[in-house]
Amino acid sequence: MFSWSELIPALPEIFMLTMACVVLVAGLFTDRSKGGFLMFLSVLTVIFAAVLTVKDHTGGATLNSQLLFNETFIRDGFGDVLKLTVYLLMIPVFFYAKQYLRQHDTMSGEYFSLLLFATLGIMVMISGYNLIALYLGLELLALCSYALVAYHRKDVKSNEAAMKYFILGALASGMLLYGMSLVYGAVGSLQLNEISQAIASQDNDLFLTLGLIFIIVGIAFKLGAAPFHMWVPDVYEGAPTATTLFIASAPKIAAFALAVRILGQGMDVLMIHWQSMLATLAIVSIIIGNLFALQQTNLKRLFAYSTIGHIGFMLLGLVGGQEGYAASMFYIIVYTVMAVGGFGMIVLLSRKGYEADQISDFKGLNQRNGWYAFMMLLLVASMAGFPPLIGFFSKLYVLKAVVDQGHIWLAVIAVVFAVIGAFYYLRLIKVMYFEESDTDHAIDANVDVKTVLSINALAQLGLLVILPALFNYCIQVTQAI
């Protein structure tokens, strides 16, 4: 039976829904040439949602899980950590979005409202404990993302990217839903804990195997893992940069949570089967992502293929047992911080009627502004996994978990292609520091955006201070799943 007391643990989601509607209405009464108020309201929303998330669960109490709404919604430490990460990511996303929308005179309340509704979808995906609840969160996120990609209605590339994203996203959702229906037909339940118990008490049948395959294909599509990556480069390039930096960050955390909830909690008994599938996807993603990125001159496409490679590393961690879950969780958190900063640099160097999305646009950046060249250096060096930056340790933890499980050949392949992939990051560093600038145009951005970007980049060093504590906490919350 439903109890009003169940609403208290779900207050962050309720508050996010309310404020998304408030921002949508507020946009009707806000001057479209401005947007500071809407951005401030959106940032305030995620900050207050973070307060509600940690209010009732501090310290070790965060690890206590609560099942709500007829066991369709779970509140646990794993979900809280991922939600807090999403909140922190959305703060720079809002700042960069304001800067980008002002540059292109397209400021509106609808954009910030869509971002908040998408954040709500992510929160539902993170806390879903029922296949239908997980799917509803996924579709809320997907529908908002399609609209955000098509935000520039008169831009051909934006419309093309939105159409590709919509068609392939619908295909992926259909496959995921079909896989869920097969699992339901095999076990007779949609609850993750009941699915796990039912699988353990019966022989594996064809329905379960087929359902597992379709679910993994759907998750791989949503993550952008190869060979289901065909939408990623075109969507990253064609979407407004403010949308691209969102798609490259918070939704990846939601897709990771979806994988852990369904595979790690609901289908843990079939681990030996889905781990071999994920290992294949991981290696193919690492190889394709790094090799194809070498050929790119468009920075957004380069980051797209880079994302595919990073997703491969994250999937590799899920092959590494319980410690691998923690390594994957740590990796996806670190990667999303890097991705937001990388696209934020593109927004920073762009101006009205011009997007700095080519590698050549970063020529001589050190001559134009040494501080921001150094910020970009920190971001791309961390993506490449250069020590002593945080990106190095995220890769190290994944490789250690894989080796500890005896999959040495997987680790060797990952290291080889990570070294190959470092070349395209080094090329960007070379362009910034050793080539002459083609323009003397000043970097035009508000102080708040420049400050947020600096903090974003310096986090590649700052997170080292809490590195052991953060990784140990990832181990704690994943062990409690």
Question: 274: closest CA among 192, 215, 327?
Answer: 215
- What's the pLDDT at 358? 87
- What's the pLDDT at 204? 65
Which residue is it, tokens 């961390």? 382
Task: Report cis status (omega within 30 of 0) of the bond before 388.
Answer: yes
* Residue 258 CA from chain centroid, whole number: 12
Give kind and range of the element (H or E) at residue 431.
helix 408-434
Using DSSP's 3-state secondary structure scheme, residue 320 falls into coil
Task: Report cis status (omega within 30 of 0) of the bond before 240.
Answer: no
Cα(172)–Cα(2) distance, rounded to whole angstroms? 33
For the chain, domain boundaries:
4-479
240 and 162 Cβ atoms separated by less than 8 Å: no
Cα(479)–Cα(329) distance, rounded to whole angstroms? 12
pLDDT tens for each residue of 380-427: 999 999 988 999 999 999 999 999 988 899 999 999 999 998 999 999
149 and 238 Cβ atoms separated by less than 8 Å: yes
- What's the pLDDT at 2? 55
Question: 338: closest CA among 220, 442, 415, 425?
Answer: 425
* Rounded average pLDDT per 10-residue block, the chain, 481 residues: 74 94 87 76 94 70 70 89 94 92 83 95 94 94 94 87 92 93 90 88 79 93 90 92 92 93 88 90 94 91 94 91 90 94 89 79 87 92 91 93 90 93 91 82 78 91 88 87 74
What count of other Cβ atoms lies within 10 Å of the Cβ of residue 160? 16
Task: Report cis status (omega within 30 of 0) of the bond before 227.
Answer: yes
For 384, residues 6+ apart whose C-beta sits below 8 A from its C-beta are: 391, 418, 421, 422, 425, 426
The pTM for the full model equals 0.94
DSSP tag of 107: -
Distances (CA, A) of 442 to 35, 96, 101, 358, 365: 23, 18, 19, 17, 11
- What's the pLDDT at 60? 43
Residue 358 zone, left/alpha/beta (φ > 0; ψ -120 to 50; rest): beta
Cα(428)–Cα(412) distance, rounded to whole angstroms? 26
3-state SS, 83-151, equals HHHHHHHHHHHHHHHHHHHHHCCCCCHHHHHHHHHHHHHHHHHHHECEHHHHHHHHHHHHHHHHHHHCC
For 303, residues 6+ apart whose C-beta sits below 8 A from its C-beta are: 236, 248, 339, 342, 343
